[in-house]
């Protein structure tokens, strides 16, 4: 709903084939497998069977007859809404579509199954897993869907041109998560969009997060030993402060442009200095917004000196 | 020789296809069957099964209650004797699914009747003068879906 709450309400869905959950935005699949090529080490999604949503017409609206159908249609609606918002704001995201989403595929690495909704880098595919919470299912959470779409957009921003930021480098993972949170929070204008599904105060963007040396990755580590969300939340809450001094649309545009600037400039250090993203945001601001953003950067990145800020 | 009539009651683990996965739920099953020896260890027969299950999906936003009932007559090929018998059956099936979805001002109750076909395989092992232990697995089509069930049960034959 517009006020940030959730309810079962009729929605217009741009679905060409509601039964199979397929349309201009995405196509849903049941199962399938995420596999990683032994030589390429690139992830691929091997499609499973098509989804089959049984529904009944009620007062002019179609109502799915099981929870999975309800979640699949909700996910599709949120994805379509995110696309429409971003297109309206002038962002070039149309080439990303159509996407795919897979309900409970098999993973080569089972631990990834702890994510209830995820974007699988390099595949143009989202993964939805069953969750066991009482709140709004994560795949039906408007902010979570936008967050996951943010990963797809981040991938496009950092790889569409002659850029090849390695999303497996830990600092890049942090900025990736932070950017995804920016997409979720700024498109909904909600700094705590996960809450209807799962109370996660540590992911709230208010009060602001502050960077400290231990949040930065130091050298290669096993994937699971680094928490990209902690530093990512610092970046996202910095952009929330920028939003408070501007607008959600302006802040998101600044963030997207800054990701491209960062990725273009950062090749020399293997994309490790993700604070250059903040510098890129500051460089793109002027006047009062620049002053306010510099103040926020000073508070939130106390060990960093940013050029152009007093 | 294979018993001519059998009446049984069992419990099942059912996996009913949903839009994108299967709903696992416990269920119950009642069956009545008959068989007529034709040659050696072979017998032909038929079984009528009635299965039922119910499950709930609930979040703070909605509750979806599903009550499911299926009747399936199968035509059976039996191989064995009075002590142990292997059974293979196929036949039509009809399912009735009552779905109640409530939440956020929405209150929908709907009953769907869905035809299909069922194939099952069972093993009967006798105990006492009339008792039968049955182990069974089956798959059943239901409209566009495919369901699975496996169960055990106790029967009385005469």
Q: B-side interface with A, Cβ within 8 Å?
A: 17-21, 23, 57-62, 64, 66, 97, 99, 101, 103-106, 108, 110, 112, 143-145
Picking from A52, A69, A103, the nearest residue to B144 by CB comes out as A52
Bridge partner residues of B89 (DSSP): B76, B120
Residues of A in contact with B106 (CB under 8 A): 8-9, 58, 63
Helix and strand tally (H, E) in chain A?
7, 12
Per-residue HEC secondary structure of chain B comes to CCCCEEEEEEEEEEEEECCCCEEEEEEEEEEEEEEEEEECCEEEEEEEEEEEEEEEEECCCCEEEEEEEEEEEEEEEEEECCCEEEEEEEEEEEEEEEEEEEECCEEEEEEEEEEEEEEEEEEEEEECCCEEEEEEEEEEEECCEEEEEEEEEEEEEC
Residues of A in contact with B95 (CB under 8 A): none
pLDDT of residue A172: 85
Whether chain B has a CB inside 8 Å of the CB on A198: the answer is no
CA B65 to chain centre: 20
pLDDT of residue A252: 98
H helices present in A116-247, as ranges: 142-159, 170-188, 228-244
Give kind and range of the element (H or E) at residue A287. helix A287-300
pLDDT of residue A222: 58
CA distance A284 to B42: 85
* Closest CA of chain B from A110, distance in Å: 18
pLDDT of residue A112: 46
Whether chain B has a CB inside 8 Å of the CB on A21: the answer is yes
Whether chain B has a CB inside 8 Å of the CB on A58: the answer is yes
* Closest CA of chain B from A127, distance in Å: 12
pLDDT of residue A160: 60
pLDDT of residue A219: 62
Across B93-128, b (16+ Cβ under 10 Å) vs e yields: bebebebebebeebebeeeeebebebbbebebebee
CA distance B137 to B14: 10
Task: Report the predicted TM-score, pTM, of the whole model to 2 decimal places.
Answer: 0.90
Best mutation target, B19, B55, B99, B100, to test chain A (most A CBs within 10 A): B19
**Are the Cβ atoms of B61 and A6 closer than 8 angstroms?**
yes
Structure confidence by residue, pLDDT tens digits, A210-246: 999 989 877 665 556 788 999 999 999 999 999 999 9
CA distance B76 to B157: 16
Could you give the 3-state DSSP secondary structure of residue A106?
A: strand
CA distance A136 to A116: 12
Picking from A54, A130, A137, the nearest residue to B19 by CB comes out as A54
| Token reading at B157 | 């034959």
List the one residue out of A47, A15, A49 whose CA is nearest residue A125.
Answer: A47
CA distance B2 to B20: 42
Best mutation target, A8, A21, A76, A132, to test chain B (most B CBs within 10 A): A8
pLDDT of residue A114: 47
Q: Are A181 and A147 in contact (CB under 8 A)?
A: yes
CA distance A101 to B105: 29
pLDDT tens over chain B, length 158 residues:
456 899 999 999 999 999 988 899 999 999 999 999 999 999 999 999 999 999 999 998 899 999 999 999 999 999 998 899 999 999 999 999 999 999 877 889 999 999 999 999 999 999 999 999 999 999 999 988 999 999 999 999 99
pLDDT of residue B51: 97
Q: Is residue A2 classed exposed, middle or buried when 0-12, 13-18 and 19+ CB atoms within 10 A define those classes?
A: exposed
Q: Which residues contact A249 (CB under 8 A, 6 or more apart)?
A: A89, A186
Q: Which residues contact A287 (CB under 8 A, 6 or more apart)?
A: none
DSSP per-residue letters across A9-38: ------EEETTTTEESSEEEEES-EEEE-T
- Residues of chain A with pLDDT below 50 are 111-114, 162-163
pLDDT of residue A162: 44
DSSP conformation class of A196: T
CA distance B67 to B51: 11
ipTM of this model? 0.85
Q: Are B127 and B3 in contact (CB under 8 A)?
A: no
Structure confidence by residue, pLDDT tens digits, A27-74: 999 988 888 777 666 778 899 999 999 999 888 889 999 999 999 999
CA distance B144 to A266: 52
Residues of B in contact with A100 (CB under 8 A): none
Picking from B19, B59, B104, the nearest residue to A9 by CB comes out as B104
Across A209-244, b (16+ Cβ under 10 Å) vs e yields: bebeeebbbeeeeeeeebebbbbbbbbbbbbbbbbe
Picking from A6, A68, A137, the nearest residue to B19 by CB comes out as A68
Q: Are A298 and A291 in contact (CB under 8 A)?
A: no
Average pLDDT score, chain A: 88
**Are the Cβ atoms of B112 and A65 closer than 8 angstroms?**
yes
| Token reading at A226 | 């680094």
The residue assigned the tokens 């204008």 is A189
Best mutation target, B18, B20, B55, B61, to test chain A (most A CBs within 10 A): B20
| Token reading at A217 | 């990755």
Q: Are B149 and B12 in contact (CB under 8 A)?
A: yes
pLDDT of residue B55: 94
Whether chain B has a CB inside 8 Å of the CB on A51: the answer is yes
CA distance A147 to A12: 22
CA distance B155 to A281: 75
Structure confidence by residue, pLDDT tens digits, B114-151: 999 999 999 999 999 999 999 999 999 998 899 999 99
pLDDT of residue B99: 96
- Half-sphere exposure of A116 toward its Cβ, with a 13 Å CA cutoff? 18
């Amino acid at each position: 709903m517009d006020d940030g709450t959730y309810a079962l309400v009729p929605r217009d869905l741009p679905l060409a084939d509601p039964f199979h959950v397929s349309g201009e935005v995405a196509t849903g699949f049941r199962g399938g497998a995420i596999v990683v090529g032994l030589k390429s080490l690139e992830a691929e999604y091997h499609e499973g069977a098509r989804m089959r949503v049984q529904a009944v017409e009620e007062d002019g609206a179609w109502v799915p007859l099981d929870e999975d159908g309800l979640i699949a249609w909700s996910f599709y609606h949120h994805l379509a809404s995110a696309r429409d918002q971003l297109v309206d704001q002038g962002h070039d995201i149309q080439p990303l579509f159509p996407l795919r989403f897979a309900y409970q595929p098999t993973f080569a690495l089972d631990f990834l199954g702890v994510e209830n909704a995820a974007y699988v880098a390099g595949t143009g595919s989202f993964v939805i897993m069953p969750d066991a919470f009482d709140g709004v299912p994560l795949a039906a959470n408007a902010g979570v869907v936008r967050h996951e779409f943010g990963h797809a957009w981040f991938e496009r921003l950092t790889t569409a041109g002659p850029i090849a930021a390695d999303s497996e480098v830990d600092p890049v993972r942090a900025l990736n998560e932070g950017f995804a949170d920016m997409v979720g929070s700024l498109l909904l204008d909600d700094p705590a969009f996960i809450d209807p599904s799962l109370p996660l105060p540590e992911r709230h963007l208010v009060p602001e997060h502050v960077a400290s040396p231990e949040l930065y990755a130091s050298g290669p580590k096993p994937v699971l030993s680094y928490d990209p969300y902690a530093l990512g939340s610092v970046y996202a809450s910095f952009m929330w402060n920028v939003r408070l001094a501007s607008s959600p649309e302006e802040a998101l545009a600044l963030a997207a442009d800054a990701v491209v600037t960062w990725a273009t400039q950062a090749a020399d250090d293997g994309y490790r200095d993700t604070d250059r993203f903040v510098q890129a945001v500051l460089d793109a601001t002027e006047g009062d917004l620049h002053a306010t953003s510099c103040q926020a950067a000073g508070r939130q990145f106390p060990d960093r000196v940013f050029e152009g800020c007093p | 020789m294979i018993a001519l009539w059998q009446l049984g009651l069992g419990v099942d683990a059912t996996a009913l296809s949903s839009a994108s996965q299967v709903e696992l739920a416990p269920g119950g099953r009642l069956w009545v069957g008959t068989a007529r020896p034709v040659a050696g260890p072979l017998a032909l027969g038929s079984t009528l099964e009635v299965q039922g299950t119910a499950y709930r999906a609930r979040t703070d936003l909605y509750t979806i209650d599903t009550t499911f009932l299926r009747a399936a007559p199968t035509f059976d090929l039996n191989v064995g004797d009075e002590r142990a018998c292997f059974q293979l059956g196929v036949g039509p099936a009809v399912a009735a699914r009552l779905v109640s979805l409530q939440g956020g001002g929405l209150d929908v109750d709907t009953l769907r009747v869905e035809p299909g076909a069922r194939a099952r395989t069972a093993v009967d092992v006798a105990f006492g003068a009339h008792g039968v232990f049955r182990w069974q697995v089956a798959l059943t089509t239901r409209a566009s879906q495919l369901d699975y069930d496996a169960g055990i049960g106790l029967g009385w034959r005469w």
